[in-house]
Amino acid sequence: MPSKDTVGKTLGVALALCIACSVVVSTAAVMLKPAQEANVALDRKRNILAAAGMLEEGRSIDEQFESISTLVVDMRSGRFSEEVDGENYNSIAAAKDPDQSSRLEGGADSANIGGRRENFGVVYVVGDRNAPDTIILPVRGAGLWGQMYGFLALEEDLNTVAGLGFYEHKETPGLGGEVDNPRWKALWPGKNAFRDGAVAIEVIKGTANREGPMAAYQVDGLSGATLTTRGVNNLVQFWLGDDGFGPFLSNLKAGEA
Ligand SMILES: Cc1cc2nc3c(=O)[nH]c(=O)nc-3n(C[C@H](O)[C@H](O)[C@H](O)COP(=O)(O)O)c2cc1C
């Protein structure tokens, strides 16, 4: 009996299978997108709460986040702004758009964020926006393998660190990845960010002298990960500095934000 198989039939079946599979995959991708976006937003809120030391495990993140206001800062004037909607503003995308960002001239890009800084920044405030109990600032900068994204929280004196945490980075687990180690993160709360109005906090190579005059400003580096340590130092100093949230924090302290 002659075979019913022909090249045309084989290709037809293969094509039909490809089309069916691609329809299934695309439908799944489209249908799951809102759920993925919701999870990203939830993870962001969780990290903001964690940096502020406010995260209570087992309680709804959305409910806990109700005590936090999402506000926009004009990074050029260092004042609150209503010009963009903080809930839907992507500062990382804005930093890549010349119309929505400013060039960091000379050696100003000390955190290596790509040479441009967004014109608006989104900050998270607990309590009164003009006299926050805690303020959480987004921070980012280059580690060894890529950009590290996190949040730095300051207490009501706008000087004492409430916490630091990264929600995305590409550092090596066990080396630079130790930025996620709760024991290292526990070194941050209580440190002072500014001394005589200038950024003084630093992440040093090795262990800080607990009794030294700079003890309140120094955080131990990560052992075996000097490059990640330097990255964290640079990004914290950048975002607290003149091209980051420095002018805004000064205005806020003076009641002029
Ligand atoms: C596979 C591999 C992964 C590494 N990952 C990191 C890292 O994530 N962060 C980092 O600072 N150094 C990392 N290093 C080490 C750096 O190359 C460099 O040796 C180190 O930062 C020096 O730190 P130390 O002076 O504390 O020893 C890695 C090295 C290798 C071989």
Q: Whose CA is nearest to atom 20 of ligand 1?
A: 225
Q: Using one digit for the tens of pLDDT, what is the confidence trace for 154-204?
A: 999 999 999 999 999 999 999 999 999 999 999 999 999 999 999 999 999
Beta strands 131-142 and 120-128 are antiparallel
pLDDT top residue among 203 and 3: 203
> What backbone torsions phi and psi does residue 141 show, to the nearest 5 degrees?
170, 170
Take atom 13 of ligand 1 and give the residue whose Cα is closest.
225
Q: What is the pTM of this model?
A: 0.90
Name the phi and psi angles at 226, rounded to 5.
-60, -35
- Strands (DSSP E) along the chain, which ranges? 68-74, 79-81, 101-103, 116-118, 120-128, 131-142, 147-155, 161-168, 194-195, 198-199, 202-204, 218-220
pLDDT (tens digit, 9 = 90+) per residue, 42-93? 999 999 999 999 999 999 999 999 999 999 999 999 999 999 999 999 999 9
Ligand 1 mean position to 186 CA, how many Å?
A: 22
Residue the block writes with tokens 């995959």: 25
Q: Mutation test of ligand 1: which of 147, 166, 172, 203 has the most ligand atoms closer than 8 Å to its C-beta?
A: 172
CA of 252 to the centre of ligand 1 (A): 39
Q: Give the C-alpha separation, 179 to 229, whole Å.
A: 9
Ligand 1 centroid from CA 2, angstroms: 66
User: If DSSP codes are grouped into helix, strand and coil, which group holds residue 225?
Assistant: coil
Residues in the chain: 257
The DSSP element (H or E) to which 91 belongs, if any, is helix 91-94
**Are the C-beta atoms of residues 175 and 222 closer than 8 Å to each other?**
yes
Tokens of 63: 């409910």
**How far apart are the CA of 175 and the centre of ligand 1, in A?**
6
Structure tokens that stand for 88 in this block? 């839907």
Q: Which residues line ligand 1 (CB under 6 A)?
A: 144, 171-172, 175-176, 223-228
Nearest Cα residue to atom 27 of ligand 1: 224
Pocket test for ligand 1, best of 145, 226, 229, 234 (most atoms within 8 A of CB): 226
Cβ atoms 169, 177 nearer than 8 A? yes
Amino acid at 37: E
- pLDDT above 80 (res 2): no
**End-to-end CA gap in the chain:** 88
Q: Are strands 68-74 and 120-128 parallel, antiparallel or unpaired?
A: antiparallel
